[in-house]
Amino acid sequence: MSKFCVKCGKEMDDSAKACPNCGAPTNDTGIYKRDIAMAVILSIITCGIYGLYWFICLTNESNHISDDRETANGGLALLYTIITCGIYSYYWNYKMGKKMYEAGKLHNKDISDNSVLYLVLAIFGLSIVSYCIIQSDLNKFAD
């Protein structure tokens, strides 16, 4: 099975220590453990710019752990969200809950199906809370 770069999504050899396309270092799981508090602080300080990057990373890494090559990558998901004036983000939040739950079952991790919770948070403008919960679940895969 080939590895995919979590930064740019390019396919690379299983033995690669860094992505040949963008130079990003790899790890065994392809998932980077992020400090959730720091990600929230950076999102606030940068007026949401880091939040966009975080959104892309969450999407790419969840696709990686769930072996989902059919779903849009992070860049496309962000583009769809912009084009639909945020409506796609409701779908994205719901789908992320389902995807994380399925990945947890696939890899024997204790992850709840939070799809409805993520959708409700998105409706009330609290998607950053969903990002935090998703990142917490992704951090379980990085260990």
* Model confidence, pTM: 0.79
> Higher-confidence residue: 143 or 138?
138
pLDDT digits (tens, 9 = 90+) for 10-38: 777 767 767 778 776 665 556 788 999 99
Contacts (Cβ under 8 Å, ≥6 apart) of 39: 50, 54, 131, 132, 135
pLDDT digits (tens, 9 = 90+) for 61-117: 999 888 887 888 999 999 999 999 999 999 999 999 999 999 999 889 999 999 999
Long-range contacts from 125-131, C-beta under 8 angstroms, 24+ separation: 127/89, 127/93, 128/40, 128/43, 128/51, 130/93, 130/96, 131/39, 131/51, 131/54, 131/55, 131/58
The residues with which 12 forms a beta bridge, in sequence order, are 3
- Residue 1 pLDDT exceeds 50: no
